[in-house]
Structure 1
Amino acid sequence: MNAALSQLEQLKKLTTVVADTGDFERMRAFAPQDATTNPSLILKAAQQPNYQSLVDSVKAAHPGLSATELVDYILVAFGLEILKIVPGRVSTEVDARLSFDTSGTIAKAKHIISLYESHGIDRQRILIKLAGTWEGIQAAKQLEAEGIHCNMTLLFSLVQTAACGAANAKLISPFVGRITDWYKNKLGSNWSDANHGGANDPGVSSVKRIFHYYKHFGIPTEIMGASFRNTSQILELAGCDLLTISPEILAELSTNSNAVSKKLDPANAAKALNDEKITPLKLDESSFRLQLNNDAMATEKLAEGIRNFCIDTEKLETLLTK
């Protein structure tokens, strides 16, 4: 690998780089292929003075809508601006309060797609983000069958991602940093970066396991590592299909020219699964719920993630009433 290139440019040769932000003005410098958003990122961006005119224009264009109804229009407005910058796709999230409502999720996803299409955007450029609950995964199965592609998020376990693959989801976003956060908190003073960082980082290990499972069993769903806390986690997953990265960490990668090597390779999947003694998982509803329930980390982080997205969606609604 050419050491003269920044780590970001080297990484782009191994992995599709995606910007994880609602602040589309900041992403231009990093030339990402795709971009992802979520309610928390959009709330953060919508509160910035430089985006006030965009928020005001959406409100002015739809004076009869409630704050709750306006949220989708705000999400799409940011998505439309992002699509002027990235050549690929943007991910837009369904209201997290529908995470346990399959029919409600499907209706909301179709509404978001219709808003994009009303602006002339091909649905192939949109990924609808859904939480990795049983209900969200079933919604994805139906949406994918109708040509609406989904990005499954808030994924913390192999069983969630295996079920997403079985539902033919277009893309999954297994979280890294939030998994590491949970183990750091659990281990407390027993945590050390020397023993639990780098290749041994629990969030990194989780995505590697998912990558090997998918590649060995021929699951075509794209894998996009997400929720990173540092550049080390990202570099340990070089070779993953996609990685979605915040502007802050993109900036770090763009100013460092140390060599980047490929860490994930489909050719190694079979041996890795054998070493870890992983076999195909049972994915009917009762088996899924039991396996998820028995994973304390995944259960807690999924619930926490949904709660926080709900809170930030309500904060965005409050912002829109002002």
Structure 2
Amino acid sequence: MKFFVDTANLEDIREAAGMGVLDGVTTNPSLVKAEGNVDFHERVLEICQTVDGDVSAEVTATEFDGMMEEAHTLAQIHDNVVVKIPLIKDGIKALRALDEEGIKTNCTLCFSPTQALLAAKAGADYISPFIGRIDDISSDGMGLIEEIVQIYDNYGFETEILAASIRHPTHVKRAALAGADVATMPFSVLTNLLEHPLTDRGLERFLADWEDYKEARDETPATTTA
């Protein structure tokens, strides 16, 4: 499974990349807005220069011509840019047109298996089911991942399933078990994957034993030979 971070924060991206497990980044205008007074296109370029992998950047237009214009602008920023397209009628048209031009796409805001099927048929490189938002309305976000995996396997679609709107490590685990290709998550969730109380307890015990061992060695008189 690939790990992406869902952010526009360069510090978090650098730290995640430094762990050696980061495969890409997803971002959007809302995440850039949270960073304050920064230029969206400049921040996308900075992200691409920071991480060696796909960087999804989202269009804001909702009609075909506007999506295509924005997509061309985004694609020119860096070779690693993947254009995020919303899963609406004109979005499906844009996915097909961009696929024919060789521009990589991530179809976002997916909430049903039939939407995912349309996106794959249109040539999307990634599909982004929002599992956390589905859970928020008391539905089954992970069930959606499982259904998309089965449909794509049935017909040999090459579209990668990118589990999005991840809220906690259990989402990551279940998405991996279901066969999602990618999990994109906040940096805080990525670091939470490391946490376990038994790891902390074991490390504390090992370090305490090591200190006891060193103290005992220091207190043992040195022996000399005649």
TM range (shorter): 0.7 to 0.9
**Residues 98-140 of structure 1 deviation map (CA, whole Å, 9 limit, x = unaligned):** 22x11221122112223x1xxxx32xx1100011011101111
Q: Report the CA distance shift for 1:257/1:171 in structure 2 as closer, same or farther (over 3 A).
A: farther
- Which residue does the alignment assign to 1:207? 145
Output the CA distance in 1 between the equivalents of 2:185 and 2:197.
18
Q: Give the match's secondary structure for 1:229.
A: coil
- Which residue does the alignment assign to 1:246? 186
- Which residue does the alignment assign to 2:209? none
Which structure's residues are more often strand, by fraction?
A: 2
Output the CA distance in 2 between the equivalents of 1:36 and 1:206.
20
Q: Contact 2:75/2:82 (CA < 8 Å) preserved in 1? A: no
Output the CA distance in 1 between the equivalents of 2:50 and 2:29.
20
- Which residue does the alignment assign to 2:220? none
| 2:196 corresponds to 1:234 | no
Output the CA distance in 2 between the equivalents of 1:140 and 1:249.
30
The one of 53, 68, 93 aligned to 1:88: 53
Q: Report the CA distance shift for 1:20/1:29 in structure 2 as closer, same or farther (over 3 A).
A: same
The one of 111, 122, 126 aligned to 1:167: 122
- Displacement of 1:28 in angstroms is 2.1
Q: Report the CA distance shift for 1:257/1:85 in structure 2 as closer, same or farther (over 3 A).
A: farther
Output the CA distance in 1 between the equivalents of 2:160 and 2:40.
23
Instruction: Trace 1:179-190 onto structure 2 (pairs within 5 A).
Output: 179-183=134-138
Q: Contact 1:75/1:92 (CA < 8 Å) preserved in 2? A: no
Q: Which runs of 4+ in 1 moved over 6 A?
A: none
What is the letter of the counterpart of residue 26 of structure 2? T
C-alpha RMSD over aligned residues: 1.8
Q: Contact 1:158/1:210 (CA < 8 Å) preserved in 2? A: yes
**Residues 52-76 of structure 1 deviation map (CA, whole Å, 9 limit, x = unaligned):** 5xx3xxxxxxxxxxxxxxxxxx222
Output the CA distance in 1 between the equivalents of 2:172 and 2:23.
16
Instruction: Trace 1:49-60 onto structure 2 (pairs within 5 A).
Output: 55=38
Output the CA distance in 1 between the equivalents of 2:168 and 2:105.
27
Q: Tell me, which stretches of 5 or more residues in structure 1 are unaligned?
A: 1-14, 56-73, 185-201, 259-322
Q: Contact 1:144/1:168 (CA < 8 Å) preserved in 2? A: yes
Output the CA distance in 1 between the equivalents of 2:121 and 2:142.
23
Higher relative contact order (CA 8 A, sep 6+): 1
What is the letter of the counterpart of residue 79 of structure 1? V
Output the CA distance in 1 between the equivalents of 2:4 and 2:24.
5
Q: Contact 1:17/1:33 (CA < 8 Å) preserved in 2? A: yes
Q: Which has the larger radius of gyration?
A: 2
Instruction: Trace 1:290-305 onto structure 2 (pairs within 5 A).
Output: none
What is the letter of the counterpart of residue 25 of structure 2? A
Q: Report the CA distance shift for 1:256/1:216 in structure 2 as closer, same or farther (over 3 A).
A: farther
